[in-house]
Amino acid sequence: MATPKRPLSPFMLGSYYRIQLTSFGSLLHRATGVALAIGSLVFAGWLVAAASGEAAFAAYSAALASLPGKVALFGFSACLVYHLLNGIRHLVWDAGHGYEIPKAYASGYAVITLAIIFTAVLWYVGLTAGGAA
């Protein structure tokens, strides 16, 4: 009996596999983890600049205050919020709750929605508080 030709991996997109919310959330969690690792290097650079003197700190702060710097900081904060909320979701799963498909989808949509809301609130408060920025 001949074995039918099937895809070797579910990651072969197209007619074989359609991305679902759970797989998208997993991929996004991994990507935000990588972004946070890169962002931590930027934060370490900021600390080194602060320790190196006033001129280095002013130059680094000016780079972060520029439009590309603010976009990068916004992306970093969005990754941080999403990764935190999705990590809490995974802790709930580790406790044995929320594995049912409707609950998994509901928690996925909740994490994405709350990440957008929390990031927007974080930046609104940060930009309107009148702090050091």
Where residue 30 sits, what CATH number does that domain have? 1.20.1300.10
pLDDT single digits (tens) 76-101: 999 999 999 999 999 999 999 988 99
Q: Is residue 15 part of a domain?
A: no
Provide mean pLDDT across the span 57-86.
Answer: 96
Exposure of 32 by Cβ count < 10 A (0-12 exposed, 13-18 middle, 19+ buried)?
buried
pLDDT confidence band for 19 (50 / 70 / 90): confident
Q: Is residue 75 part of a domain?
A: yes
Percent of the chain with pLDDT over 90: 74
Q: Is residue 53 part of a domain?
A: yes
Rounded Cα distance, 78 and 21, in Å? 18
Annotated binding site: 83
Name the token pair of 106.
């509901």
- Residue 12: the pLDDT is 61
Rounded Cα distance, 77 and 45, in Å? 17
Domain count, the chain: 1
Q: Is 99 helix (H, G, I), strand (E, B) or coil?
A: coil
What is the overall mean pLDDT for the chain? 89
Q: What are the strands, taking DSSP E only, across 75-126?
A: none
Annotated binding site for heme: 83
Q: Is residue 13 part of a domain?
A: no
CB 107 within 8 A of CB 92: yes
- Residue 79: the pLDDT is 97
Asked if pLDDT for residue 15 goes beyond 80, the answer is no
- Residue 17: the pLDDT is 67
Strand partners, 17: 13
Q: Determine the residue type at 98.
A: G
Domain containing 66 equals 21-128
Position with higher pLDDT, 7 vs 100: 100
